[in-house]
Amino acid sequence: MFYEIRTYRLKNGAIPAYLKVVEEEGIALQKKHLGELVAYFFSEIGPINEIVHIWAYVSLDDRELRRAALMEDPDWRAFIPKIRDLIEVAENKIMKAARFSPTGGSAS
């Protein structure tokens, strides 16, 4: 299993607006195409104005196909401008779980 960890640093004070529009519109579109949402967080202590969401994929090919489908969805393309100006910095990581991870990993 592969995990995509997406971290966004938002503009100061933008977390409530971001979470509202994602909850009302964005998350359903993402789940429709991306599949397994592992977690969705916002910072409380530490780096402020930070959003982290984690998605699970069977393979990197699975991720690529699912992300492509999301990007082709006209509803998603209409949604993007609602969050784009709230985000200052975006970071994306792909992680693979270790065999002993509670999420279930592999030997390699």
| Domains, the chain, ordered by start | 2-96 (3.30.70.100)
pLDDT at 68: 97
Contact 46, 52 (CB under 8 A): no
Q: Evaluate whether 34 touches 66 at the Cβ level (below 8 Å).
A: yes
- What is the pLDDT at residue 11? 96
Q: Which pLDDT does position 50 carry in this prediction?
A: 96
What was the pLDDT predicted at 102?
A: 86
Cβ proximity of 85 and 50 under 8 Å = no
Give the pLDDT means over successive 10-residue stretches in the chain (108 positions).
95 96 96 95 91 96 96 97 96 92 70
What is the model's pLDDT at position 47? 86
Select from 86, 60, 88, 44 the least CA-distant residue to 4: 60
Give the up-direction half-sphere exposure of residue 7: CA atoms within 13 A in the CB hemisphere: 10
